[in-house]
Amino acid sequence: MQALSRRLVQQQQSLSSSSSISSIKFIYPLSHHYCGADRPRYDSTLATRGVGHLVRKGTGGRSSVSGIVATVFGATGFLGRYVVQQLAKMGSQVLVPFRGSEDSPRHLKIMGDLGQIVPMKYNPRDENSVKAVMAKANVVLNLIGREYETRNYSFEEVNHSMAEQLATIAKEHGGILRFIQVSCLGASSSSPSRFLRSKAAGEESVLKAFPEATILRPATMIGTEDRILNPWAHFAKKYGFIPLFGNGSTKIQPVYVVDVAGGIVSALKDDGTSIGKVYELGGPEIYSVHDLAELMFDVIREWPHYLKVPFPIAKAIATPREILLNKVPFPLPTPAIFNLDQILALTQDTVVSEKALTFNDLGIVPHKLKGYPVEFLISYRKGGPQFGSTVSERVNPDSFP
């Protein structure tokens, strides 16, 4: 009798477990495919709308809940890491789309609390993939940009088409409260630079698809991973000089990258005053290209040596790469100094317009470059950070006996 009762109990348990497993299979289909579900590589099972009204909790620190769930396109780039850091330290959840190696977003994971930085593999040319990484967000930031072309991605696709696609999907999403498009200072349809023309086209398309979007136009950004002072310092250490296009008199208004990230977060946190507006973010000082190069030489403690290259000659040196880019069966080197599009951009001054909205309108006081913002250049000093001649120790060679 006891054996019979035990057998009946075992049968009931097996039936209940099989029914529970079948119900689980109904909700989450079990499979050996990617992520354990029978679906395409980049699709998502998440809801297709955002979280709606923001729910805040805590004192505003890293372990708080800011209510912001931000998808940051271009988060693995230069500006992206600083934006992710500032969002994470205020308790926001950051979704990080990436298309490269699994290690690409690894350095971002430590910037937020546990589970707050969420890397998500995606394909920028797959609409379903883009929708998947945007599904749970209520804020979208587009930091995607490329100052040179490759065989796979042109200026028009990266700076214009992708921006238009993101804005269109964000508008169709229905739960995206804010969309911020990061453009570039000097973006204009009449610019001699194709990069700046494509950025201007991207701005126009974003505002057409998402009229409530905020456009930010940062000037040349300076920071540890920048793409102007680092190439100059590397070139100067290798060859003993740097080339100056024209006579180095072109005016630019470089800005500290941390200030730009702060401006983005400030626009997100405002009461909606930045919606539908365009901001030009430049540093507090205007430099000529020659003056900025002098600052670089001062920090690395090297005697400044320049080779002035007229614009026609600089264009002639940089043009062959652009001609051969899509004609050779192999990728060409990335231009560090002689970038044709940047040479064309330097034929005009790039400074903040007089009547433009600036950092002041976002409540940000930008840093001056001299000091901490360029301190990363000490790694280029000969013999270490404490070696080399300072500006005050320099002696005019003409005064030597």
Using the predicted structure, report yes or no on whether residue 3 has a pLDDT greater than 80. no
48 pLDDT more than 50: no
Q: Say which range, 57-61, 79-83, 352-356, has the weakest mean pLDDT.
A: 57-61
Residue 117 has pLDDT above 50, yes or no: yes
Rounded CA separation 221/255 (Å): 5
pLDDT at 43 exceeding the cut of 60: no
CB 121 within 8 A of CB 42: yes
> Domain segments of the chain: what residues?
69-222+255-284+352-366
What's the sign of the alpha-carbon dihedral 303, 309, 315, 319?
negative
Q: What is the pLDDT of residue 24?
A: 34
The region of weakest confidence among 146-150, 167-171, 197-201, 255-259 is 146-150
Supply the CATH classification number for the domain 69-222+255-284+352-366: 3.40.50.720
pLDDT-derived band of residue 326, with 50, 70 and 90 as boundaries?
Answer: confident
Can you read off the two tokens belonging to residue 64? Answer: 């708080």
pLDDT greater than 90 at residue 259: yes
User: Do residues 186 and 44 lie in contact, with contact meaning Cβ atoms separated by under 8 Å?
Assistant: no
Select the more confidently predicted residue: 1 or 340. Answer: 340
pLDDT single digits (tens) 167-211: 999 999 989 999 999 999 999 999 999 999 999 999 999 999 999
List CB contacts of 228: < 8 A, sequence separation 6 or more: 220, 222, 254, 292
Q: What percent of the chain has pLDDT over 90?
A: 69
Say what the pLDDT of residue 400 is: 41
Calpha distance 172→322 (Å, rounded): 37
Tokens 């546990």 belong to 114
Residues 210-226, mean pLDDT to the nearest whole number:
96
Interval 383-399 mean pLDDT = 56
Amino acid letter for position 130: V
pLDDT of residue 337: 92
Please report the beta strands in 21-106, taking only residues with DSSP state E, as ranges in sequence order. Answer: 69-73, 93-98
pLDDT number for residue 331? 86
Q: Say what percent of the chain tops pLDDT 70.
A: 82
Distance CA 396, CA 389 (A): 13
Q: How confident is the model at residue 29 (pLDDT cuts 50, 70, 90)?
A: very low
Residue 357 above 90 pLDDT?
yes
72 touches 95 (CB < 8 A): yes
For the residues 241-264, what does the mean pLDDT come to? 95
CA 329, CA 316: separation in Å to the nearest integer? 23
pLDDT in tens, 63-78: 888 889 999 999 999 9
Q: What is the mean pLDDT of the chain?
A: 85
Contacts for 110-118: CB closer than 8 Å, 24+ residues apart: 111/81, 111/84, 111/85, 112/62, 112/84, 112/87, 112/88, 113/62, 113/63, 113/88, 116/88, 116/91, 116/92, 117/84, 117/88, 117/93, 118/93, 118/94
Q: What is the pLDDT of residues 266-288, one digit of tens each?
A: 999 998 899 999 999 999 999 99
> In the prediction, which pLDDT does 100 show?
86
Element (H, E) at 251: strand 251-252
User: Does 31 score more than 60 pLDDT?
Assistant: no
* Greater model confidence, 146 or 29: 146
Listed in sequence order, the residues at least 6 apart from 162 whose beta carbon sits closer than 8 Å to its beta carbon are 73, 124, 142, 144, 202
pLDDT tens digits, one per residue of 303-322: 999 999 999 999 999 999 99
Measured CA to CA, the distance from residue 384 to residue 159 in angstroms comes to 39
